[in-house]
């Protein structure tokens, strides 16, 4: 698994959001975007992370930053997650983990002694030119928003 570094071109992607609409990173050209990866919609850590992003949308927007969440969940599960917590920003379905792999967040995890492949919770601030302004791998659910706001 190779990780993205500051200053590197962020891999572009096109994935369906919670309503089935195709969303691409290139749609955000000319503005900053927070892209964060979470393992599974509507689980405790992922809910904490996503609700923190929701609660900070105004602060992010004031700084010219949009937000996108990505997980392996299908669009219908993303839609239920969005509706349940009134998230209000794109939640993208990376069902085959191609984007997660390109960002270096698909890898081995261990739980209760079992090794398996999954999303390594991570977040990225992508700048107006599509470059990685910062990458936070293995981020805790509550650290995504503070990390971005501290950088801005």
Identify the sign of the CA torsion 69, 73, 75, 76: negative
Is 46 considered catalytic here? yes
Q: State the pLDDT at residue 5.
A: 94
Q: Which residue has the higher pLDDT, 37 or 113?
A: 37
Beta strands in 2-73 (DSSP E): 14-16, 22-24, 32-37, 65-71
Domain count across the chain = 1
Span 100-138, pLDDT tens digits: 999 999 998 888 888 989 999 999 999 999 999 999 999
Of residues 46, 70, 100, 125, which has the active-site annotation? Answer: 46
Q: 1 falls in which pLDDT band (50, 70, 90)?
A: low
* Residue 6 belongs to a domain: no
151 pLDDT higher than 90: yes
Mean local confidence (pLDDT), 76-80: 97
Digit-coded pLDDT (tens) for 42-57: 999 999 999 999 999 9
What percent of the chain shows pLDDT beyond 90?
91
With respect to residue 64, please indicate whether it lies within any of the assigned structural domains. yes
Range of the domain at 19: 14-151
Q: What CATH number is given to the structural domain containing 99?
A: 3.40.30.10
Q: Is the pLDDT of residue 145 over 80?
A: yes
Give the integer Cα–Cα distance in Å for 74 and 128.
28
Q: How many CB atoms lie within 10 A of CB 106?
A: 21
Domain assignment of residue 119, yes or no: yes
Residue 67 domain-assigned? yes
State the pTM of this model.
Answer: 0.95
């Amino acid at each position: 698994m190779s990780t993205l570094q500051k200053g590197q071109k962020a891999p572009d992607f096109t994935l369906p959001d919670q309503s089935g609409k195709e969303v691409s990173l290139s749609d955000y050209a000319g503005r900053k975007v927070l892209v964060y990866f979470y393992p599974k919609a509507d689980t405790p850590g992922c809910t904490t992370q996503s609700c923190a992003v929701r609660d900070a949308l105004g602060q992010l927007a004031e700084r010219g930053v949009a937000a996108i969440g990505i997980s392996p969940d299908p669009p219908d599960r993303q839609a239920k997650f969005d509706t349940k917590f009134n998230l209000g920003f794109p939640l993208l379905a990376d069902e085959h983990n191609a984007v997660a792999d390109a960002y270096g967040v698909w890898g081995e995890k261990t739980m209760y002694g079992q090794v398996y492949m999954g999303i390594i919770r991570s977040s990225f601030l992508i700048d107006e030119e599509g470059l990685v302004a910062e990458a936070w791998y293995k981020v805790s659910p509550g650290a995504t928003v503070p990390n971005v706001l501290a950088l801005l």
